[in-house]
A and B are shown apart, each in its own frame.
Chain A
Amino acid sequence: MAKSIKIRAKIKGDETTVKCLMTHPMETGLRKDKKTGELIPAHFINEVVAESGGKTVMTSNWSGGVSKNPYLSFAFTGGAKGDEVKISWTDNQGGSDSGTAKIS
């Protein structure tokens, strides 16, 4: 199970709403370390891929302008209760994680 993604997937009628909360520093690369005065290197999720029913439902690309510990919500039709939703992220430093949840 993902260490850094929490997913809630709920279906109402034909529409599934997926909400996710990710744990990530989302550093823009523009912030200075208060103690050293050095710029903290950019470290942010730059891509999130959402899959369900064997298809990519949505791909989202981000800059460091998305908030720390980012939240994402999206919706799609054609899903069903019990289907799995998979969320995967990659960041600009080559890090990645993915997680799944069942639509309820």
Chain B
Amino acid sequence: MIMNIKRRVFLRGSLAAGTLGVAASAGLLTPQTVIAAWNEKAFKAKSIDDALTAAMGEASNTASDAIKIKAPDIAENGAVVPVSVSSDLAGVESIALLAEGNASPLVATFMLGEGAVADVSTRIKMGKTSDVIAVVKSGGKLHSARKSVKVTIGGCGG
């Protein structure tokens, strides 16, 4: 069982670099059929820049107020922090959601297919008070916004 788990992760990684990459660049695969292989490098990266470079090809981004992050000012429990990201930038291809204070800051990426609207929500774990960062790829460039979330270590309830 354990061997299988390791093998599966390994295969996915090699698919991204090998077969799929070749097929995609040969125009054999349309965006709808590309399987997003799990990007271990991005999700295990320890810095925002490394995570963004691995996930979106580059780290450099411009702050944009066309990106809205909804997250609590104070998260009463860091295990479940509701976060929403929306943007009215044109032609959003993907969104990355990061928690700056987490050991591995990249929490989720969203690859928007045909017709998808730049409006996603989820609930994330935050290890400590830090910024939640949303990075949006639109027009081939990265745009970003951040929101500070205080994570409380409770007295009794937490």
Contact B38 A47 (CB under 8 A): yes
In angstroms, Cα B116 to Cα A17, docked, is 10
Q: How far is the CB of B75 from chain A (nearest CB, A)?
A: 11
Write the residues of chain A forming the contact surface with B, with a CB cutoff of 8 angstroms.
15, 17, 28, 30, 46-47, 55-68, 70-79, 92-94
Contact A62 B107 (CB under 8 A): yes
In angstroms, Cα B124 to Cα A17, docked, is 20
Q: Which residues on the B side are within 8 Å of A77 (C-beta)?
A: 115, 117
Contact A66 B106 (CB under 8 A): no
In angstroms, Cα B9 to Cα A93, docked, is 9
Q: Which residues on the A side are within 8 Å of B17 (C-beta)?
A: none
Q: Which residues on the A side are within 8 Å of B153 (C-beta)?
A: none
Tally A-B pairs: CB < 8 A: 112
Write the residues of chain B forming the contact surface with A, with a CB cutoff of 8 angstroms.
4-5, 8-9, 32-33, 35-36, 38-39, 43, 79-82, 84, 99, 102-104, 106-117, 119-125
Q: Which residues on the A side are within 8 Å of B80 (C-beta)?
A: 67-68
| Interface core residue of B43, B84, B117 (most chain A CB under 10 Å) | B117
Taking a contact as CB atoms closer than 8 A, the residue among B38, B111, B113, B125 that contacts A28 in the complex is B125
Taking a contact as CB atoms closer than 8 A, the residue among A46, A57, A71, A78 that contacts B123 in the complex is A71
Q: Given contacts A59-B110, A60-B111, A67-B81, could you give 8 more A-B pairs where the C-beta distance is less than 8 Å?
A: A59-B111, A66-B108, A67-B125, A70-B122, A74-B110, A74-B119, A74-B121, A92-B38
| Interface core residue of A47, A62, A67, A72 (most chain B CB under 10 Å) | A67
Q: Can you name 16 A-B residue pairings with CB atoms under 8 Å?
A: A47-B36, A56-B33, A57-B113, A57-B114, A57-B115, A58-B111, A60-B111, A62-B107, A63-B107, A70-B122, A73-B120, A75-B116, A76-B117, A78-B115, A94-B5, A94-B8
Q: How far is the CB of A4 from chain B (nearest CB, A)?
A: 16
